[in-house]
Amino acid sequence: MSRLELYSPEGLRVDGRRWNELRRFDCRINTHPQSADGSSYVEQGNTKVICMVSGPKEPSNKSQQNSSGAVIEFNVSIASFSTTNRKKRSKNEKRTIELNTTLERTFEQSIIRKLYPRTTISVNLHVLAQDGGLLAALTNASTLALIDAGISMYDYISGISAGLHDISPLLDLNTLEESGMSFLTIGVVGNSEKLSLLLLEDKIPLDNLEDLLAIAIAGSHRIRDLMDQEVRRHANLRASKLVK
């Protein structure tokens, strides 16, 4: 099979983007006001994720209680129709469990847990469509839904993926690109350069890692700004409805 040209000599990618361009990023906050304490919807290219947060609430199981801080549970469910070829996924698939653990570890650091002792915060994520950058989209959706639920956090966590094609770093990969090169996903804390999440499942030469992280951090900051815009838009909308 002839290999698809992922990055042309002219510097264009399969979907016509340049190396440092993000896909269309669209996010909504408070999409499910009736059924969850906090909710959000994120589209990163063709990846679509719904997130619903419930809590802080009393844990259903006494043994899950922690008197020093909130217990955070993630539950990612990937719809069987999310990929081009339909595939039925079991709920205990290793990949999904890994996503849950990664997200739990990330958000345990960014939520101010000590403010909610003896409670559970559960985050339900529904993946409706996936086209690369799944973990990044899940991270962004969770951040927005947690903000919507009014849960205290130190800062935004914005996620993005970046891959290395030969020696050139590419930002925000789609499925085609993900299958053709090694890539990493990062979660950046606010506008800083601190990483709270880094997932690299294959090999990247150490010399190129710095370039790759630099472009990924720049991309994350852009995502953070877009999410911040949406949060402020929604907050203004709510404030305008308050009775003065």
Partner 1 sequence: MILSPAERSYLYDSLAKDELIRPDARADYQFRPIEVKTSFLPSSNGSARVRLTDGSEIITSIKSKVVLAAEEKSLIECDIDIPGFRDDSNFVANLKYNMTSLLNKSFPFESLKLTSKYAFKLFIDCVVISYSSFPLTFISIACYLALKSTKLPKLISDVNDEETAEQPLFSDDWENAQYLGDLNDSKSFNPPLIIVIGVVGKNLLFDPSAEEEQVLENGIIISWYNNDISTPIHNLNFSVHSNMPNYKGLSQQMIMKSILMARKHCANIVKALDQAIEEQTDDGVIF
Asked if 86 touches partner 1 (CB under 8 A), the answer is yes
Which residue, 154, 140, 151, is CA-closest to 229?
Answer: 140
Asked if 14 touches partner 1 (CB under 8 A), the answer is no
CB of 143 to partner 1, least distance (A): 18
Judged by CB, which is closer to partner 1: 91, or 232? 91
Answer yes or no: are the C-beta atoms of 22 and 222 closer than 8 Å: yes
**Contact pattern from residue 43 through residue 62 relative to partner 1, giving x for each residue in contact according to CB under 8 A and a dash for the rest:** ---x-x-x-x----------
Quick one: which of 20, 69, 79, 218 contacts partner 1 (CB under 8 A)? 79
Asked if 41 touches partner 1 (CB under 8 A), the answer is yes
The encoded tokens of residue 215 equal: 């472009």
Stretch touching partner 1 by CB under 8 A, among 35-43, 111-119, 154-162, 235-243: 35-43
Distance CA 34, CA 126 (A): 17
Asked if 226 touches partner 1 (CB under 8 A), the answer is no
Asked if 81 touches partner 1 (CB under 8 A), the answer is yes
Distance CA 209, CA 96 (A): 27
What is residue 47's three-state secondary structure? Answer: strand
Looking only at residues 88 through 107 of this chain, which bind partner 1 when binding is defined by CB under 8 A? 88, 91
Judged by CB, which is closer to partner 1: 175, or 191? 175
Asked if 129 touches partner 1 (CB under 8 A), the answer is yes
CB of 86 to partner 1, least distance (A): 5
Strand blocks (E) in the chain:
25-29, 38-44, 47-57, 71-78, 120-129, 157-165, 168-171, 182-189, 195-200
Which residue, 64, 19, 11, is CA-closest to 219?
Answer: 19
Which residue, 49, 33, 102, 93, is CA-closest to 74?
Answer: 102
Asked if 36 touches partner 1 (CB under 8 A), the answer is yes
Exposure string for 115-154, b = 16+ CB within 10 A, e = fewer: ebebbbbbbbbbbebbbbbbbbbbbbbbbbbbbbbebebe
Which residue, 199, 193, 53, is CA-closest to 122?
Answer: 53
Asked if 176 touches partner 1 (CB under 8 A), the answer is no
Judged by CB, which is closer to partner 1: 34, or 68? 34
CA trace torsion 112, 42, 22, 172 (10° rounding): 70
Quick one: which of 65, 77, 152, 168 contacts partner 1 (CB under 8 A)? 77
Looking only at residues 109 through 128 of this chain, which bind partner 1 when binding is defined by CB under 8 A? 124, 126, 128
Binding interface with partner 1 (CB under 8 A): 28, 31-36, 41, 46, 48, 50, 52, 75, 77, 79-84, 86, 88, 91, 124, 126, 128-129
